[in-house]
Amino acid sequence: MNHRRQRGFSFVSIVVAMLVLAALYFGYFHFQSSMTSERKTGIQSIEAAKDVACRTQRQQIERDVQLYVADHDHPPRSLDDLEHAGIHVPPCPEGGDYSLRGAHVVCSKHGS
């Protein structure tokens, strides 16, 4: 008998390797697309948290205005009056400017 020495890969092993590579390839792109949606969700969560922080700070400043009125018998003309009275006015988390409209505090970035 003449035995030939076989070299190389069989057709079946090549097909199996291609299937494994295809599965990895498509799995990678599926993972990347899910990461993009998770990233968008994360950014939306951060923006929502900043909105909540701004609203909470505006509510605190409005309570400080009420305390100012109780102490001084007149409303402050601006937030500077609160600062001069020793009441700290925190900045907006996103860099907006707070101002007074009557007894309400308004943010230039987030509105009222």
What six digits make up the tokens of 34? 């899910």
- Give the count of beta carbons closer than 10 Å to the beta carbon of residue 6: 7
pLDDT of residue 63: 93
Q: What is the pLDDT along the chain (112 residues), one digit of tens a residue?
A: 556 666 777 888 888 888 888 888 877 766 666 666 677 777 888 888 889 999 999 999 999 999 999 999 999 999 999 999 999 999 998 889 999 998 899 999 887 7
Task: Give the span between the Cα atoms of 104 and 38, in whole angstroms.
Answer: 36
- The residue among 40, 49, 97, 86 whose CA lies nearest residue 64 is 86
pTM attached to this predicted model: 0.63
Whole-angstrom distance between the N-terminal and C-terminal Cα of the chain? 94
Question: Phi and psi for 49 in degrees, rounded to 5?
Answer: -65, -40
Q: Is 68 exposed, middle or buried (0-12, 13-18, 19+ CB in 10 A)?
A: middle
- The residue among 111, 108, 104 whose CA lies nearest residue 60 is 104
pLDDT of residue 37: 67
pLDDT of residue 33: 65
